[in-house]
Structure 1
Amino acid sequence: MVINKEWFVSKINNFLLNDESNKMVKVDGSLIFQPETLVGFSSGNDPIFTKYKDIIGNFHLTPVEAFTKFYENTNIKFTAENLSVVAYVLPISEETKEENYQHSKNMPSERWANTRLYGEESNQKLQNYLVNELKKENVNAVAPIIEKDLFKIFRKHEKGVWASTWSHRHMLFASGLGSFGISDGFINARGKAMRCGSLIVDYKLPSDAKNRPNDPYEFCIKCGECVERCPAGAISLEEYHNKQICSGHVFSAIPYVKKNYGINIYGCGLCQVHVSCSSGIPNKKNS
């Protein structure tokens, strides 16, 4: 069996189509994520991962560090040159995006809240599924975010607030799938309204680094629509995204979501809907 981009796209889309975890079971049974994934690769020893330690924090793991730590007490041998990062995009349904726009100017809709809770659970199940499918092909892999010994969130750190030891969005950027926006959302061909995932595999895959823009904000047209959409004033064209203000508003939604939807989760997502980059990469000529 040849492991390539088509293999990953097929596995992910089939999972999204058929696994019960990707259904809005508490709403209407429809799909949480559309089976239209994007997949990108980067080399496990790409220099950008060392740069992330300066950008995010020294605690952010390189693929080599994460893979080494996960397999350190086993007899599995590998080389840094053979490691690859696989990153993917899970597009949020059009129904959910539209509902989150129509519902409120400051609180998430029911579908959006369910996507944040159950969609992320499905995303993590998908990562585990991919790791196991790779093992069937005798390929070792690890998904850092689902491993408690690898993943940790820092509310405060030396460079600011809210960062972690492994960032899916930064793996997407490394793998040439798009760029960041001023809201810190990740703009790609399927749009900013998405969730994403990544894993490290001990299998040499062709890097998509050639598609990686030099400017980390390359596809953001600075239109200011997300600035206007943010109910907390956490985004500006001058200073971009204030994580502290944003997180304060996002967590303030918990009582509302619990009371109205019967689930315990935070959320917002208003800057991701009804903006130029919601469903694709915006045209700079129209900015």
Structure 2
Amino acid sequence: MDVREIESLLGDYVESAEGNRVQGSYALDQALVGTTYFKRPLVRCAAADDPLFRRIRDDERVLGPKFRLPSEWLPGARSVVSVCFPMSDEVCRSNVDDLERPSDLWLHARIEGQQFIAETTRLLVGWLEERGFSAVAPSQSPDFEAVRQDRRAPGAPLYVSRWSERHVAFVAGMGTFDLSAHLITPAGKAMRLSSVVTDARLEPTERPYGEDPFAYCTRCGACVARCPVGAISLPGGKDVALCSEVVARSKERFSPRLGCGKCQLGVPCQSRIPEPRFSHVRAYLA
């Protein structure tokens, strides 16, 4: 099994699975029934012993010591498979215009869609095990934990966990971060992520951006303007505490669902890697 085979298997499953569509049993609006959550996923791979994992673990401004290395999730781990699930065009369109509330379809994609991602990730674990390999999905493990650390070192993240889908995807060559702390991938940042650690030896994906965590972000400021509460700024990036308050209020209003997602939509990096700012000038000077 290689990365291309995994991407093909997952893509065929995502396109055909009923779980990737709004079901009438829970639809907030029956007009949404049958609407697709996600497009075909992208798959990238990192070597489990990539030294970048240890560096982002050892830097408290990035992840800190709570983060577990791949080999601590699975002894003998050789590879980490990162999967990107791009939001469908219908989901994205539904949530662009009204900055005051998330659309019903976005709420479904955020909760029932995430449940489908968890199901698909378990399926990938099963495929690997059927081929004689060991595999684990850290974010689905009972040992996974995400906690808020109100007392932290300067520059340290507000929330820490034993596994970070975004940072794992960065190491695997999936994409780089932006001002709003999302990951810009070849399919843009309107997406969700998952990952699996395995002892299968898979060819690592080349990181076209090297180790630059913000290589794809042009700092255009579009996400700043899109945030309903001003939680993103050009000089400071994302105010995670303020953003979290908005999401928490959405859960109070729409429980058991929650979400916002406005900064992921209506921006140049919604569904692609944006062109570098002033690229025509840079090309001329080169």
TM over 0.5: yes
* Structure 2 CA distance for aligned equivalents of residues 138 and 91 of structure 1: 30
SS of the residue corresponding to residue 74 of structure 2 reads helix
What displacement does 1:95 show? 1.1
Which residue matches 2:93? 98
2:16 maps to which of 11, 15, 18 = 18
Summarize the alignment of residues 175-254 of structure 1 with structure 2, pairs less than 5 Å apart.
175-254=172-251
Q: Which residue of structure 2 lines up, in the alignment, with residue 44 of structure 1?
A: 48
- Per-residue CA distance 1:41-75 (angstroms, 9 max, x = gap): 1100111111121121210111011113xxxxxxx
Offset of residue 28 of structure 1: 2.0
Runs of 4+ with deviation above 3 angstroms: none
3-state DSSP class of the match of 2:274?
coil
Distance in 1 between the 2:259 and 2:207 partners? 34
TM-score, normalization: structure 1? 0.88
> C-alpha distance in 1, partners of 2:6/2:263?
30
Question: Residues 1-287 of structure 1: matches in 2 within 5 Å?
Answer: 3-25=1-23, 26=27, 27-35=32-40, 37-53=41-57, 54=59, 55-68=62-75, 78=76, 83-102=78-97, 104-149=98-143, 151-156=144-149, 158=152, 159-258=156-255, 264-285=256-277
Matched AA of 1:136: E
Question: How far, CA to CA, are the matches of 1:122 and 1:286 in structure 2?
Answer: 40
AA aligned opposite 2:147: F
Q: How far apart are 1:286 and its partner, in Å? A: 5.5
2:49 corresponds to which letter in structure 1?
A: N
1:41 counterpart SS class = strand
SS at match of 1:282: coil
Question: What are structure 1's unaligned runs of at least 5 residues?
Answer: 69-77, 259-263
User: Aligned equivalents of 1:210 and 1:114: distance in 2?
Assistant: 33
Query: CA RMSD for the aligned pairs?
Result: 1.5
Letter in 1 for 2:55: K
Q: Which runs of 5+ in 2 are unaligned?
A: 280-286
- TM-score of the two chains, using structure 2 as the length reference: 0.89
Instruction: Check whether the contact 1:106–1:268 (CA below 8 A) recurs between aligned residues.
Output: no
How far 1:4 sits from its partner (Å)? Answer: 0.5
How many pairs align?
265
SS for the counterpart of 2:44 is strand
